[in-house]
Structures are given as structure tokens and as C-alpha cells.
Chains A and B, each alone.
Chain A
Amino acid sequence: MKTFLSTLVAAAAITAASVGGAMAQASVSQAELINNLQGLGARSTILNVDQLRQDVTVKISQEASEDVVNRNQYLDYFASLPNFSVEILFDFDSAIIKPDSYEILGAMADALHNPVLLRDQFLIVGHTDAKGKREYNLELSQRRADSIRNALTTVFKVDPARIQAFGLGEEQLRDPNNPDAAVNRRVQLLNLGPMP
């Protein structure tokens, strides 16, 4: 917890109110994305994603079984940032995004190119359900988050400096009582505030 928090340097107090987080869906409007993602004002969150990744790997190796998964508060930190969850479909066991999700990618790009959000940085967080090994899910979700970042920054021309990608695997289930439920498989877009 302590090491983890040290990697999260919030430049100002974190707002308690969680916004966004609508259910995964087939399509989403630009306006909906913007409404949920705006609002951090002048505060910037500086994240060391590599450190974050390392801490999660250590956490997994320390927790002996699949059953001992502590819900750590630091992961809930993400929920305090302006965020929006979308469902992006991938080929089985792969980071290839299915054509059915191209429209959502487009909508994400539309929102990121809107002047309301144009100066902000974002974190893409990929989540899986709890099927399979935690380490494997962590790695798969990282590849999938990278794949989304890659599409946004090339095909849709979002500035690569504005987006980081982070796979959280099954470490933050949306519905912990139904760990294998589809609702857990989602991609969060988090607003980290203005570019430093």
C-alpha cells in the first residue's frame, strides 16, 4: 500500500465523488464521454505506470492463492478520477480488437480530440474477468490496453504523449461477487488532468 501510494502523486486533493463508470455498451456518444471525463480542472495526477505494474506483480506473487485477493484501496484511487468504462471486444485470448468495437474506438478518439479534453492526459486501464490465472490476465490486459492506445494514437491521431496504457488484469473486479461475469471485462478511460 505504502509503496504503491508513493507512485501516485496527486498534485491536489482527490475528489471523493466518483463520476462516470456507466455500464459497458456497444456504442457510446462523444458527448457522454466528454461529460464523464471532464472536470479535473487544473489538477494533474502524475502516474508512474511502470512502477504501478511492478507493484501489482509483486502483490500477486505475495498473495498465495486465487482466493486471497485483497481489495486494496490504492486501486480504488482510479475510481476517484473522472472516468468512463466502455466494453471493447477482442479476439479470444488476443489483443486484436474486433470490428464491432471500432465505433467505440472512434468515439473515444472524438472525445479526446474535443477542445474540452484536448489538454488533458489519459490512462487506459484494461480489466479482465477472473477466469484463468491472475498473472496471465495481467499480461493479457496490458497487451489489450496497449492495443487500444496504439489504435487511438495512429489511426485516430491522438497525441501519444497524452495517453498511457495499463493492464490491471482481474485485480479490480467490478462485480467481485460474480468474478467470471462479463461486466468485469471492461476498459476504463481515466482523466489524469492537464499535461504537465
Chain B
Amino acid sequence: MTLAIRILGGLALIFALSLPASAQTVSYAEAMRLFTRACGKDVERTCKGVSIGEARMLNCMKKNESKISDTCKTTLDATIRSLELRAAAQEAAFPLCEKDIRRFCKEYDPGNGRILRCLLSNEKQVSAGCNQAITDAGWR
């Protein structure tokens, strides 16, 4: 783990902790389900033919905010935030569990989720911070 990633992870955590409790992370699937429910029609109307890749569709929707429904407007911002939060939480998770991994999961080789399974099976002993990080990453 490079220092840069650790710092990034730390910053992501600070960012995550500074948010209200209501800003819990959700899966990408859930974020997109909520988005499509609120904005699916607006996408077809306002940004038809715009690819979702490289955030083109999200940018198009943002640019045309005056043309989209109020529900969608709120959901659009929430979606962008959800995607960022989940990515940050996943980036931060292993750095935040580093001590716990050294303590409880030293003998496990990384890969195929072995370290994660070890942390999950030691949930009672694992630090609260690490447990929360696993939850926020959506890996429970």
C-alpha cells in the first residue's frame, strides 16, 4: 500500500465521517435503481442518445437541470454523491483495516476475498473503525 493511497484513504474517511448519518453509502446498483426511478424518463427526454460512459449522461443531465423534473434534480445530485461516497469508502476500507489484518489475518494470502472473510469471521474482535469501513464499502 503506497503512502499516497493511504493518504487518499484517510482523506476519504475524513470526508465520509464529516457527512451526516443519512449519507450512508449505498451500492452502485441501488444508487442507479433510485436514479432510474426518478430520472429515467428525463434521461430519455433530455439526454437521449447520450452515453452513460465517462459521466456524459450525468453531465448532460446536470447541464440541462432547468429542463428536468424536481424529483430528478434532487436525485441527480444524490446519485453523483452516492457514486463518489461508495468509491471513496471502498478505497479506504483496507487501509482502515490494516492493523486488524496484521493482528487477526496475518496468515491469510490476499485474493479471492480471503482477508475479507477473515475480518468478517473475527467481527467481534475487529476494531469498530474497520467494521464500519467494511460496512461502508458494502462488503458485509
List residues of A whose CB falls within 8 A of some B CB.
27, 29-30, 38, 41, 91, 94-100, 102-107, 109-110, 113-119, 147, 150-151, 154-157, 194
List chain B residues, Cβ under 8 A from A29. 29
In the complex, the answer to whether A147 meets B40 with C-beta atoms within 8 Å is no
Interface size class of B (residues with CB under 8 A): 20 to 34
Starting from the known contacts A30-B138, A157-B87, 7 additional A-B residue pairs (CB-CB under 8 Å) come to: A27-B29, A30-B27, A41-B112, A115-B113, A155-B54, A155-B83, A156-B28
Asked if B139 is an interface residue, CB under 8 A from chain A, the answer is yes
Residue of B nearest to A28 (CB): B29
List chain B residues, Cβ under 8 A from A113. 28, 90
Residue of A nearest to B119 (CB): A115
Q: Closest 5 A-B residue pairs measured CB to CB?
A: A116-B113, A150-B53, A106-B28, A106-B32, A106-B29
In the complex, the answer to whether A106 meets B30 with C-beta atoms within 8 Å is yes
Please give the distance in Å from B106's CB to the nearest CB on chain A: 17
In the complex, the answer to whether A97 meets B138 with C-beta atoms within 8 Å is no
Interface SS majority for chain B: helix
The answer to whether residues A154 and B90 also contact, given A30-B27, A106-B27, A119-B112 and a CB cut-off of 8 A, is no
The answer to whether residues A105 and B87 also contact, given A38-B112, A154-B54 and a CB cut-off of 8 A, is no
List chain B residues, Cβ under 8 A from A116. 112-113, 116
In the complex, the answer to whether B54 meets A106 with C-beta atoms within 8 Å is no
Please give the distance in Å from A80's CB to the nearest CB on chain B: 19
Residue of A nearest to B112 (CB): A116
List residues of B whose CB falls within 8 A of some A CB.
27-33, 35-36, 39-40, 43-44, 48-55, 58, 83, 87, 90, 110-113, 115-116, 138-139
In the complex, the answer to whether B139 meets A114 with C-beta atoms within 8 Å is yes
Please give the distance in Å from B30's CB to the nearest CB on chain A: 7
List chain A residues, Cβ under 8 A from B36. 99-100, 102-103
